[in-house]
Structure 1
Amino acid sequence: MEFTPTFIPITRGVLAKRSGCNLETIRYYEKIALLPAPRRSAGGQRLYTDQDQRRLRFIMRARELGFSIDEIRSLLSMATAGTYTCAQIHGLTVAHLQDIRKKLADLARLERTLSEIADRCASDTAPDCPVIDALWEDQEQS
């Protein structure tokens, strides 16, 4: 006897509730084709499967980890086709990690600069303000 999985459709609202994803975000993911267009009921209601829910969770987790839409599209393409190697995924992940480390370094520089500027500010009622001066200086140096 062969086992055939049962298709138990769920609505977008149920999908959103189960996944913790906003309805508008689900619509957006469909629009940009991260989620496939769902089947429709006779009345035109969108119907999603457990596989759609699983794919949505994959997308959401990848977004939590900071992967871009293009990176997620690439990961999904490889994962669903089953044509990936661990080395390919590792390469994509390491490149993403390098981007995150660069952003962290940029944020640390930004924090130091803002802290230095704020420390120079007397925060009184004087019309001269080192923060404004620093912003003008940076603009003129560009």
Structure 2
Amino acid sequence: MLIGELANAVGLPSQTIRFYERKGLLPAPERGANGYRTYDESTLARLRFVQTAQAAGLTLAEIGTILDLRDDGNVPCAHVATLINSKLHAVRARIRDLALLEIELDALIERSHRLDPDDCIDADICHIIAAPQ
């Protein structure tokens, strides 16, 4: 299939497919007599894997390590499990950080309801956010 057909099949722009090729996520495609890139079903499967891995929060660099293992003939499952576990820990830490931020924002909103804008001084810039005296 040509790059446009491949792009349509996976719902990506052709430029993204070329970018993935440059980054080594996709093998260099065959070229037809006309010079056009031609792709087979294995490239389609690989692109779908990249999309699914990205949806799981993996970076392109991380996805590249998985693909490299597979291309070298190794089963990457243990590596993938480690990556996913690391992502899960990061997500949980981010959730904790966001919960703390939520508390802080709620407190600032509550503070904004109690303060009078006429009492705000230039040195405070905004007394809703300014540190309490």
Q: With structure 1 as the length reference, what TM-score do the two structures score? A: 0.72
1:81 and 1:41 map into 2 onto residues whose CA distance is: 27
Show CA shifts across 1:12-48 (max 9, x none).
1111111122323222212211112211122221111
TM-superposed CA distance for 1:59, in Å, is 0.4
Q: Which amino acid aligns with 2:68?
A: S
Q: 1:33 aligns with which of 7, 18, 24?
A: 24
Q: 1:56 aligns with which of 38, 41, 47?
A: 47
1:100 and 1:136 map into 2 onto residues whose CA distance is: 30
2:125 and 2:20 map into 1 onto residues whose CA distance is: 41
Q: Match of 1:116?
A: 107
Sort the Cα spacing of 1:30 and 1:87 in 2 relative to 1 into closer, same or farther, 3 A: closer
TM-superposed CA distance for 1:97, in Å, is 1.6
Q: Match of 2:87?
A: 96
Is the 1:121–1:131 contact (alpha carbons within 8 Å) kept by the matching residues of 2? no
Percent identity over paired residues: 33
Is the 2:112–2:128 contact (alpha carbons within 8 Å) kept by the matching residues of 1? no
Unaligned runs of 5+ in 1: 1-9, 138-142
Q: Match of 1:17?
A: 8
* Residues 1:71 and 2:62 aligned together: yes
Q: Match of 1:4?
A: none
TM-superposed CA distance for 1:51, in Å, is 0.5
TM-superposed CA distance for 1:92, in Å, is 2.5
- Equivalent pairs counted in the alignment come to 127
TM-superposed CA distance for 1:88, in Å, is 3.3
RMSD: 2.9
Q: With structure 2 as the length reference, what TM-score do the two structures score? A: 0.76
